[in-house]
């Protein structure tokens, strides 16, 4: 079967750095996505990786290792507004997104 695993919840301090991991087992691979979802709102796109390596976008970076079925989202200089759920999703061989359950990130002052 297809499976996306990510931690249920993480806590970090304002101004610090946090890494959210995602491991996957899917039928085929056509890219990995990270989305941010604030409570009661819709998911919004953060990053996309299809090749191995690190993609940097401001305070957020995303890393992919296809051979290990592994990705992480790195958030730097954490701000209170970063408190949200972070969703990992893999596009499979049918070009459909398979979603993880999300990691709830709590930022403490």
Partner 1 sequence: TAGITQAPTSQILAAGRSMTLRCTQDMRHNAMYWYRQDLGLGLRLIHYSNTAGTTGKGEVPDGYSVSRANTDDFPLTLASAVPSQTSVYFCASSGGLENNEQFFGPGTRLTVL
Which is nearer to partner 1, 33 or 72 (by Cβ)?
Answer: 33
Among 7, 10, 31, 61, binds partner 1 (CB under 8 A): 31
Name which position in 84, 102, 103, 107 contacts partner 1 (CB under 8 A): 102
Pick between residue 51 and residue 95 the one whose CB is nearest to partner 1: 95
In three-state form (DSSP H/G/I as H, E/B as E, the rest C), the secondary structure along the chain is: CCEEECCCEEEEECCCCEEEEEEEECCCCCCEEEEEECCCCCCEEEEEECCCEEEEECCEEEEEECCCCEEEEEECCCCHHHCEEEEEEEECCCCCEEECCCEEEEEEC
Kindly state the smallest distance separating residue 16's Cβ from partner 1, in Å.
Answer: 27
């Amino acid at each position: 079967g297809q499976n996306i695993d990510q931690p249920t919840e993480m806590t970090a301090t304002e101004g610090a750095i946090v890494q959210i991991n995602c491991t996957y087992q899917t039928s085929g691979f056509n890219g990995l996505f990270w989305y941010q979802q604030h409570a009661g709102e819709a998911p919004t796109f953060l990053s996309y990786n299809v090749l191995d390596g690190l993609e940097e976008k401001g305070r957020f970076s995303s890393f992919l290792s296809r051979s290990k079925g592994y990705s992480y989202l790195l958030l730097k200089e954490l701000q209170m507004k970063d408190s949200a759920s972070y969703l990992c999703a893999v596009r499979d061989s049918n070009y459909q997104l398979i979603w993880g359950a999300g990691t709830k990130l709590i930022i403490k002052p």
